[in-house]
Homo-oligomer: A and B are copies of this chain.
């Protein structure tokens, strides 16, 4: 009963996804070949097509898998009975921690999807917008409660906030600025301080 057909001893699918993260992070989606993923996973070329419809589907799966966690996290944070600044701080913390714990996957997500607005970004626009909308809701509620000034459109505010964090991740990914536990903490505090500072009354 330990391993049935539905749960084989080795999860090939997972193995291929994990290999794809490393390969996409190292070479980029467009300049890697499916054979690179297969070799990295230690499986035959054709097996990738047994588990996935196409090369694109591998990336789509990686993105959706992770992004749904982000959306769930933001919703959970928003439900907490804490001030808006603390909510945004928690959201920034979640995203930055995601990078801290799995920089390769976050690199792939940011570089190949989130910032690739006219290829995969297009495909996943609805999911990406959901994140913006959730952040905009936090801002909007904060304005209604009087914590934030109400002369800044929440839609714009969510763009400044998410944009600042994404810019940060990009800078770490491409080693424009040093990365490390100290920098992660510091950057989170500064981005929240700056953006919330500008949004609060």
Contacts and interface: CB of A to CB of B under 8 A. Distances in A.
Q: Is the interface of A mostly helix, strand, loop or mixed?
A: helix
Interface residues of A, number: 44
Interface stretch (A63-71, A98-106, A112-120): A112-120
A81 B121 CA distance: 42
B117 A190 contact: no
A190 B154 CA distance: 11
Contact of A30 (B30, B129, B156, B194): B30
Given A28-B119, A111-B117, 13 more contacts: A111-B118, A129-B176, A152-B194, A156-B194, A159-B171, A160-B160, A160-B164, A160-B194, A160-B195, A163-B163, A163-B164, A166-B167, A194-B195
